[in-house]
A and B are shown apart, each in its own frame.
Chain A
Amino acid sequence: MTTIDTPLTANFSIHSCAVSLAGMPLGTRFRVIAIDETRESLLRLMEMGLIPGVEGLLERTAPLGTPLSLRLPGCTLAVRRDDAECIRVIPLDPPTNNTPD
């Protein structure tokens, strides 16, 4: 796990409020806390800007439930649901009501 402050000492307990991105409702704003760096796909997504510390918006899901689209500052990325499960985030505010359905 690569986390914001301690890259090599992965420990979920210190981020007790962090949850998996996949479990968030649409329209949630979030901050990425930790990413499972053993997954090649997540390393690629990190290179594309999805790194611990970045803030984003869970915008949509594809009609069949995966992938999800995340709006990050400067770009919108598609992330498969199983990858999203390995991304820990903290929600920044309650989901807004005008979510795209």
Chain B
Amino acid sequence: MSLPAKSPVSALCKRRLIAIAGNPNAGKTTLFNALTGARQKVSNYPGVTVERKAGQLKLAAGETVDVVDLPGCYSLAARSPEEQIAHDVILGEMPGEPKPDLVIVVVDASNLERNLFLTSQLLDLKIPIIVALNMMDVAREQGRKVSAEKLAAALGCPVVPLVARRGEGIHDLLHLIGARPTGECACGGVPRFIDCLPPALEPSVQALAEGLVSSGHAQRETARGEALWLLVSSLEGDDAARISPALSALARRVLNEYQLTPRQVRAIETSARYQYLNDVMCRGVAEGKHRPSRFTDRLDGVLLHKVWGPISFLLVMAFVFQSIFSWASPAMDGIESLMTALAALVGDLLPDGMFKEMLLEGAVAGVGNVLVFLPQILILFLFIGFLEDVGYMARAAFLMDRIMARVGLDGRAFLPLLSSFACAIPGIMATRTIAARKDRLVTILVAPLMSCSARLPVYTLIIGTVFTAEQRLFGVYPIGGLMLLGMYFFSIVAGITMAALFKRTVLRSPRPPLLLELPSYKLPSLKSVLLNLYDRARLFVIRAGTVILAATIILWALMHVPVGHQDFSGFEQRRLSIRSEPALDDAGRNMLLQFVQSEEDAARVQQTLAGKMGKLIEPVIAPLGFDWKIGVGIIASFAAREVFVSGLSVVHGVGGSDEETSSLRDALRGERRTDGSLMFTPLLGLSILVFFVLACQCVSTVAIVRRETGGWRWPAFMIAYMTALAWLGSFAVYQGGRLLGFS
């Protein structure tokens, strides 16, 4: 598995690949951004939710190299998807990914020993590495003098001092990359850890290494490194393990022979490696004792304080929530009016007809549906990037760990769930900060249960229809307001319950260990934050946007393309007679014409696929108290929940304009069932409300879940469970209410 000496020809033919590895918070991404600039591509590793970031780097000599940013990890021992991927990519065992020619290990100079842990594991595998000794400035501020030369001499590999945030040292690093370092140990330094194992490990590692060589699984020079990795990695069958059965059997035999468990091997390895690193550090690598940051200490005294901590946390969260909830709306309104203007422009240019309507109400509206999410996404990720960079996200996880662990969730799930009250799309995108895959999935699955702002128009319409503003509870509280509050409360309860349920069933997993460092507070890097914003926005528009656009067009077609033939000439005749009626003034004529138009729309909707589907599903939704018209509204609202309002307007023949909800309200109040009783009773209203709290009526959410989980499996599961939940919830409310004597 070692790198064969390359002939100049093959080196010229193939583009070199450089992998960037390192601990979380060591400045890996900052270095990656500094090297590749905006020439980045973000995708997912196959089958996992771990992101793959790749870019290109042009060297002075004219050579272009590919750069891939590995997930941050503390160790190569594969206990999580991140570590497994880092290991697989580095050793060239990742399907579809060539073995990197060079690994740059980003090391935080202010916390050298801990960061060298991973470095020495990489050195054991005898691959060419360059150590990027980052955050030299922080180390200096903390009173430590770190010597790159002495570290290079001790480790036997090139070391470049850097301040990646300010671009210092990047030039030297580029120069070194151009010089094509080999994996050869420049001896004279401390022997590698793998060559001086403690007695408790030596025999088992050597035995497995020989087994690997004789079975052809490894080459002699790298066999010991691979053997040690196999002994410590995932032999207890958890979902991160991707070791071939043959290798795993070999390793198990050796472990049995020496009566060791993988965890024992890991404990011994870890302790021994830190002792070994102590020897490395003793070679004059660093001078001076750590002086912890006074500023961080003072600030933590407030932000992690028993009383002020939670208060400041709530203030920060409220601020973030407020900003996505209200500050985004001017931008969203702007985008909407821009799309209206665009529609008007296109409308003037095109002849009337089905195609024009499709373009305007399907395609242009679909583009609008995509763009309208951008302000919220950008604002949320601006805050997340800022809070993460500053170091506050770690504190938030620290404060929330206990509460979220009760539900079975990660402390970092709080912000995504909170954001979902504004909109589930940015919320689901924000679950990236949750490291454990199953915890992240649970958070994604329950995020759409939080009452997003798109439900608000539905809530207001229904509550406004079945209650009047004068109705008060105990003569004080307006019932409408209480109902609205109740819906938000209900959505929180539903979310927590479902999270706890998933955590104990389909996504059962042990509570993930808390791997949380509380880094020193520091100024954020504007470039990183902005690049991240750009990435998120682009990914959303490209990956989720296409699905949303397609779905909007399909839903438009469902609502508008007639099925079968129906004669609508009666409406045209009525229009003609209104126009020729001399007794009417202009205003009266227009009112009548509008009335006819609404009736025609309602009649036409019945002849569309959506209308037929509404009739088709009527038996299914009848137990919830819904008729086919509400069914059409539900189908239409899959484009976005607020479309329920305009969908209902169309089927009830009150015109599609959103502003005139009062006329829709009156129309709904006038609706009667076939037996002559009132249709929109408070009980039916409650049933609809419960349905909308729980149902997954949002194609954009489905699109983003597909993008974030890398397949259709989880979005399909989400639609299924939420629809089932919504049906059951409404059923319980409606039928239960009837049993209790409400109508």
Contact = CB atoms under 8 A, between A and B. Distances in A.
State whether these chains interact: yes
Interface of A: 2, 7-8, 35, 37-38, 40-41, 43-49, 51-54, 60, 62-67, 69, 71, 73-80, 83, 100-101
Nearest to A80: B514
A7 B113 contact: no
Interface string B500-542: 0000000000100111111100000000000000000000000
B361 interface: no
Interface stretch (B399-407, B470-478, B576-584, B589-597): B399-407
A46 B306 contact: no
A80 B397 CA distance: 12
Interface of B: 74-75, 77, 79, 110-114, 117, 200, 263-264, 266-268, 270-271, 274, 290, 292, 300-301, 304-307, 309-310, 394, 397-399, 401-403, 510, 513-519
A54 B270 CA distance: 13
A23 B120 CA distance: 35
A62 B401 contact: yes
The 8 A-B pairs of least Cβ separation, nearest first, read A41-B513, A37-B267, A74-B111, A78-B516, A64-B402, A76-B518, A2-B267, A47-B75
Given A49-B117, A62-B402, A67-B401, 10 more contacts: A7-B267, A40-B79, A43-B263, A44-B74, A46-B267, A65-B402, A71-B292, A73-B113, A75-B114, A83-B513
10 contacts: A2-B271, A40-B510, A41-B513, A62-B309, A62-B399, A71-B292, A76-B292, A78-B394, A78-B398, A80-B401
A51 B113 contact: no
A78 B274 contact: no
B301 A41 contact: no
Contact of B310 (A2, A38, A63, A75): A63
A83 B514 CA distance: 10
A98 to B, nearest CB: 11
A67 B266 contact: no
Contacts of B74: 44, 47-48
Contacts of A48: 74, 114, 515, 517
Contacts of B264: 8, 37
B84 to A, nearest CB: 15
A63 B300 CA distance: 12
A38 B236 CA distance: 12
Contact of B112 (A64, A66, A74): A74
A40 B513 contact: yes
A77 B270 contact: no
A46 B273 CA distance: 11
Nearest to B261: A38
A77 B77 CA distance: 20
Given A7-B200, A37-B263, A47-B74, A78 B514 contact: yes
A62 B264 CA distance: 31
A79 B514 contact: yes
Contacts of B510: 40
Contacts of B112: 74
User: Which of A48, A60, A75 lies at the interface centre, i.e. has the most chain B CB atoms within 10 A of its CB?
Assistant: A75
A47 B519 CA distance: 17
Contacts of A46: 266-267, 270-271
B517 A78 contact: yes
Nearest to B232: A43
A73 B277 CA distance: 14
